[in-house]
Structure 1
């Protein structure tokens, strides 16, 4: 823009080359002050300046073939006194580059390619615009110059203690009022620009009054250099009051990344919010995790056709909603009004369909309160996410961890002060890790990665913490901690964090998946627990499927042991009457179990065949088949399709007994175990389809009750 009469300017030049061929580059350079306006002494109004300029033959052009001119950042008497220029360079359509710089008023010409680039925290707006003390003096009817005004302030010699005590006075009196106003007006939406303006407007009058008082005391105690000391006192007071007051309104980082990581013990983060307990990446999933004290969670991000960011793991809507196709083909209004997540399919029809959630809503709601792992999943979401954080959430780097795959770039987040988490493939080479190491704060390994490789990455990471994903069993937690992993990205964070049982009786009639339910495969519809429409029955619609009941584990036995009682039925009787389902129990951990397979830990399994035969087995880690206990086959009446049967297992310190209620003869009797090595008293158990491969003949269960003996 043209410069008003008397306003200084400095000509600047800048050239770029194309990264592709080294020739003249094409693109734009946006130049803007880091403050909303600058007041120049002797000039009417305020000055903003800057703009967006194109490069012509690789040279910066002001639009008319001339040279770009900018306002110097060190003009005497300018308000604010401390500010900087921000440059946003975009060359050949590539990712924008941000840099801050200052301009000397005495410079004849400046090459922006060689200026010293400032850190963002050195380019902040520190001044409070508004009426100066001199302006107020003139408005009161006084005549004269600023020198006359200063001379009017000189009085009898005073005590410098009054000036030195100004800071304490501001804190104890002025800022107390600002705190009260901030608490009443604080808006968690994170609109930092609006909040800053509100803060400085609220603080301006009070700060100017106290600044004048401090300057008066300083001049009175040091008349020989009153002008200098008064100016310094006023500048320091106004800046301190403005910054402190503005800080009350800006988004507050109640929990920073560094403070969270400094906490003792293994950290548990919400994976997709709490994606195996609530519909993933919905507000309900995030709220569940935070309501239960989880202090960090993941926000996966993708973008729609209009540039709005949404919390979504996949590039398409196919898996998690009732819609299909790529999110970036849908308009924002369509996503907001018409797309619902299909969490009911995997988590139970007791759920209501949940809407998708905009990223802004979660940032407004939780930024600064918890640590957020934010990851752009699609390439087209990267720049919109960067721009959103930089412009609308300038304090995000205090409580946001930039999460990305080892194959992506970490330059922007590191240049903008973010902590970074780089997760790697199970087969990623050390050379790939070495190439990213200088830009990475935390490393990520998967639960499927071999333990030996995890330990290698932990060792090579040195003092950089290593996190793992996806964790949904306590047994996984134990193995990862043994490997040196200190952070767990869990889809069931409340259960994984815990160590005790949460219930002793089921409520499956609610038709909602419970925390602690551990299917054989995470985020898998077939492995999920299925709820019948009536009667409170549950089943596993998977061949030979099993399902851990961690909500009720570990069972804590009484002095005489414990009892598991549950109803069971078959809705369809198989032509092969030897197939069976039942329960597994007595395991020391919640590792997965499957019948007639080598399993990670010892235990027992009870089977009830379609011909009515009841058996109790011991299963061990050294063989696939079970070890039959007691007298062998216990003959009971053949099951009737759709008819309930009650199974009961009593576990004492030295015996175990299985029975089907309804006939006193339908029992194994107490089976004595004299060898302590063969007595498995772990408190974890679950449901089992046993040998059944035809899911139409699978068992159903309801009314689980655990009691102490």
Structure 2
């Protein structure tokens, strides 16, 4: 970056290793001072500096390809004297990392990847103190108050009459003295004396006229000069005040849309905040996403009967709250005091009911700090949202993406400088897209759209970035990235963004849905995990239902493999059909949904425990519905007793698989030589059970290495 003349700078680079397996890291580094502005001696104005830069192979370059230079933090005489640089690093799409550092003015070149990092509390600053004129007056031996000091600078109030008398007297005395001097010098007599007197009078009059004219000219010039200087001072003061006011706000505006999109790697956005982990469109959902490093999220908006905007996906309160009816029939006070979300139904009774959140609160809290997708979901919310942004948040277009369906208008957001995301139906024709193209910055495609159609939209003329929704599985992410999609709107953004397991032991006693839990259907109460009121049991209250346990996936085996241990029980035995079963599926290479006796998208294994006590182990392939039984045959264990816990154990080594029910040494398949699949994804299965009263329950999951 360029620097004003006289301002010192230090060239910097950034050598960092990729977290993906060695080699030089690539990505972006956002740099900003920890203070709003720095005044440098000998330079006009103040230095604000910083920006977002790319680093490749240790080189840190700006938009013009030039090496980045930074202001040292120890410039002599700078105000403030103590401050630091803040770096926000994003390497190969990994979660951003923050660090603080100082920069020595004597350094020839600094590698920011190896600087000594400062603790945040060492980056605070103090303004440079200065000696006041009053202090200097006191030190010179004067004794008095500050008011007396000010009076000494100005003097006592003047008397204009006395001043005029003094001036008139001085002029009169001066003229009389001049006449006396002239008389003495020329000694005039008679007419000559009269002429002399007349000449003196004329000279006196001329001098008086010229003096008056000079005085008027001087006063006019002084007045004009004072006015000009006052105007200049006023303009400078206004500019300084505006800069100071901007400095107070602008540090919050750390992430603009274009800066975010310039980051490398796939972008992950929070869908309804994080609507499959927290109650959707609540402050808790938004806070969860941002607290885990998600840099962009969606705010759906609807309006109440008084014109206040609320974060809500539906036009009615029926699905997400304990109330019913359209939001636009409720008064603002009623929504604020009486409407609570019912996220406990889908996310577990461990949740407390959450209040509705006003849009203004979220804008005040997060606008500028993260990228916000704003979408008015009802027609009556469009104009109130436009008016709110125009009057109260005129800077919103820097960090807001206007989100809307292909069937709506994009004229207003584009004329106001907003980036726009147009999401399309699976059946939207190219002609429909062509009609919107000039007003669209990003296209939106659904996960239900065919891969071929997604690729067509990605490859449209103009190569506009394409985002997809709703994404809640890593397997969906992989497929979308293969199609060229660069943005993922996810209801479980932390899990979808990740690649590793988050835990090895369950805490289902907390009675809250975990990140990484993948039911067969998104936003479905029926497919959700059900928590018991006591003892930490969970179940899937859906016929033949399954539930992926992505929080614990992919399992990373030790040198000898890994072991899955879990307790299981049936609260009701199906006496009419003791062959029905539940159990676990495992060994899958991805987290795509699984169902018993169905063609599934990926291979794996399935352990079943029948109501009559028979234990079996199956291998499943993608070419047939039924499983392939492994081992010598049925393992006969004691018939389950209603409500009584059983412990299941699965051992997976590099070359064998063994399933057992603990409690009897004979209740095991023994090690089976089968190394067909070694994927790390697994989950719970109701197997063949269609009567949910007879479904299995599980608790105390534990994964250990062998």
| Residue in 2 that maps onto 1:303 | 303
- Conserved? CA contact 1:578–1:611, under 8 Å: yes
Give the Cα–Cα distance (whole angstroms) in 1 for the partners of residues 614 and 704 of structure 2.
26
CA distance in 1, matches of 2:48, 2:563: 68
- Note the C-alpha offset of 1:236: 6.4
How far the C-alpha of 1:412 sits from its partner, in A, is 0.6
Distance of aligned partners of 1:169 and 1:413 in 2 relative to their CA distance in 1, 3 Å threshold = closer
Within 5 A, what are the aligned runs for 1:132-531? 166-167=44-45, 237-238=236-237, 240-250=239-249, 252-460=252-460, 462-531=462-531
Q: How big is the shift at 1:245?
A: 2.0
1:582–1:608: 8 Å Cα contact kept in structure 2? yes
| Structure 2 residue matching 1:365: 3-state secondary structure | helix
1:412-445 Cα deviation digits (max 9, x unpaired): 1111111110000011111111111101111100
Give the secondary-structure state (helix, strand or coil) at the position aligned to 1:480. helix
After superposition, the C-alpha distances for 1:36-75 in whole angstroms (9 at most, x for unaligned) are xxxxxxxxxxxxxxxxxxxxxxxxxxxxxxxxxxxxxxxx
- Give yes or no for contact 1:520–1:527 (8 Å, CA) kept in 2: yes
Distance change in 2, residues 1:228/1:528 (3 Å): same
Q: TM-score, normalised by structure 2?
A: 0.68
Are the structure 2 counterparts of residues 611 and 461 from structure 1 closer, same or farther at C-alpha, using a change threshold of 3 Å? farther
Distance (Å, rounded) in 1 between the aligned partners of 2:425 and 2:656: 47
Q: Match of 1:24? A: none
Distance 1:509 1:250 in 2: 44
Give the CA deviation at 1:694.
Answer: 0.8
Partner SS for 1:167: coil
Say if 1:302 and 1:226 are closer, same or farther in 2 by CA, change over 3 A.
same
Q: CA deviation at 1:166?
A: 4.5
Q: Report the 3-state secondary structure (helix = DSSP H, G, I; strand = E; otherwise coil) of the residue aligned with 1:420.
A: strand
Match of 2:632 in 1: 631
Where 2:693 maps in the other structure, the secondary structure is helix
**2: distance between equivalents of 1:170 and 1:278?**
39
Deviation at 1:534, TM superposition (A): 1.1
Q: Using a 3 Å threshold, how does the CA distance of structure 1 residues 596 and 391 change in structure 2: closer, same or farther? A: same
Query: Which secondary structure state, in structure 1, belongs to the residue aligned with residue 333 of structure 2?
Result: helix
Aligned to 1:614: 615
Consecutive unaligned residues of structure 2, counting only runs of 5 or more, are 1-40, 50-74, 84-221
1:690 paired residue among 682, 687, 690? 687
- Is the aligned partner of 1:704 residue 2:701? yes
How big is the shift at 1:261? Answer: 0.5
Indicate how the Cα distance of structure 1 residues 613 and 409 shifts in structure 2: closer, same or farther if over 3 A, else same: same
- In structure 2, the residue matched to 1:196 is none
How far does residue 246 in structure 1 lie from its aligned partner after superposition?
2.8
**Structure 2 Cα separation of the partners of residues 614 and 165 of structure 1:** 82
8 Å contact from structure 1 (residues 647, 661) kept in 2: yes
Q: SS where residue 365 of structure 2 aligns? A: helix
Alignment partner of 1:578 is 2:576: no
Indicate how the Cα distance of structure 1 residues 663 and 176 shifts in structure 2: closer, same or farther if over 3 A, else same.
same
Hey, what's the Cα distance between the residues in 2 that align with 1:448 and 1:244?
A: 49
Secondary structure of the 2:45 match is helix
Is this contact kept in 2: 1:167–1:237, CA < 8 A?
Answer: no
CA distance in 2 between partners of 1:376 and 1:365 (Å) = 19
- Range moving further from structure 2, 461-470 or 374-383: 461-470
Matched, 1:668 2:669: yes
Paired with 1:426 and 1:253, the residues of 2 have a C-alpha distance of 36
Shift of 1:244: 1.6
| 1:3-18 mapped onto 2 (5 Å cutoff) | none
Q: Residues 569 and 643 of structure 1 are in contact (CA less than 8 Å); yes or no, is this contact kept in structure 2?
A: yes
- Could you say if the C-alpha distance between residues 174 and 548 of structure 1 is closer, same or farther in structure 2, counting changes exceeding 3 Å? same
Matches of 1:455 and 1:257 in 2, distance apart?
24
Give the conservation status (yes or no) of the 8 Å contact 1:443–1:461: no
CA distance in 1, matches of 2:568, 2:551: 19
Cα distance, 1:282–1:522 mapped onto 2, change above 3 Å: same
Instruction: Supply the distance in 1 between the matched residues of 2:556 and 2:249 (Cα, whole angstroms).
Output: 49
2-side partners of 1:165 and 1:369: how far apart?
31
Per the normalisation by structure 1, the TM-score is 0.68
Q: Is contact 1:508-1:538 (8 Å) kept? A: yes
Gap change, CA 1:269 and 1:168, over 3 Å in 2: closer
Which residue of the partner structure matches residue 124 of structure 1?
none
Paired with 2:538 and 2:648, the residues of 1 have a C-alpha distance of 15
Relative to 1, partners in 2 of residues 1:174 and 1:416: Cα closer, same or farther, differing over 3 Å?
A: farther
For residues 345-376 of structure 1, give each alpha carbon's deviation from its aligned partner in whole angstroms, at most 9, with x where no partner exists: 00000000000000000001101110000100
1:76-106: CA deviation from partner (whole Å, max 9, x where unpaired): xxxxxxxxxxxxxxxxxxxxxxxxxxxxxxx
Give the deviation of 1:702 after TM superposition: 0.4
Quick check: 1:170–1:241 contact (8 Å CA) kept in 2?
no
- Answer yes or no: is the 8 Å Cα contact 1:578–1:610 preserved in 2: yes
Change (3 A) 1:175 1:362: farther
Please give the per-residue CA displacement for 1:618-641, whole angstroms capped at 9, x wherever unaligned.
000111000000012111111111
1: CA distance between counterparts of 2:296 and 2:638? Answer: 53
Contact 1:371 1:400 in 2 (8 A): yes
Matching residue of 1:645: 646
Report SS of the residue matched to 2:325: coil
1:84-141 per-position Cα deviation (integer Å, ceiling 9, x unaligned)? xxxxxxxxxxxxxxxxxxxxxxxxxxxxxxxxxxxxxxxxxxxxxxxxxxxxxxxxxx
Cα distance in 2 between the residues matched to 1:273 and 1:624: 37
SS of structure 2 residue aligned to 1:386:
helix
Shift of 1:464: 1.2
Structure 2 CA distance for partners of 1:568 and 1:582, relative to 1, 3 Å: same
- Structure 1 unaligned blocks of 5 or more: 1-162, 181-222
Give the 3-state SS of the residue equivalent to 1:354 in structure 2.
coil
Instruction: Give the drift of 1:670.
Output: 0.3
Query: What is the deviation of 1:672?
Result: 0.7
CA displacement, residues 445-473 of structure 1 (integer Å, 9 cap, x when unaligned): 00010110000000005331100000000
What displacement does 1:249 show?
3.4
Alignment check: 8 A CA contact 1:274 1:286 kept: yes
Matched residue of 2:236: which SS? helix
| Structure 1: distance between partners of 2:537 and 2:435 | 53
Q: Distance in 2 between matches of 1:426 and 1:495?
A: 26
Report what 1:654 is aligned to.
655
CA distance in 1, matches of 2:461, 2:513: 38
- 1:379 shift after superposition: 0.3
Q: Could you tell me whether the CA contact under 8 Å between 1:175 and 1:245 is conserved in 2?
A: no
Q: Structure 1 residues 441 and 543, CA, compared in 2 at 3 Å: closer, same or farther?
A: same
- 1:567/1:165 CA distance change after superposition, 3 Å: closer
Distance 1:228 1:429, change over 3 A: farther
* Equivalences for residues 93-108 of structure 1 within 5 A: none
> For residue 206 of structure 1, what is the aligned residue in structure 2?
none
CA RMSD of aligned residues (A): 2.6
Structure with greater Cα Rg: 2
Deviations 1:137-177 (A, max 9, x none): xxxxxxxxxxxxxxxxxxxxxxxxxx996436999999968
Q: Is the 8 A contact 1:272 1:297 kept in 2?
A: yes
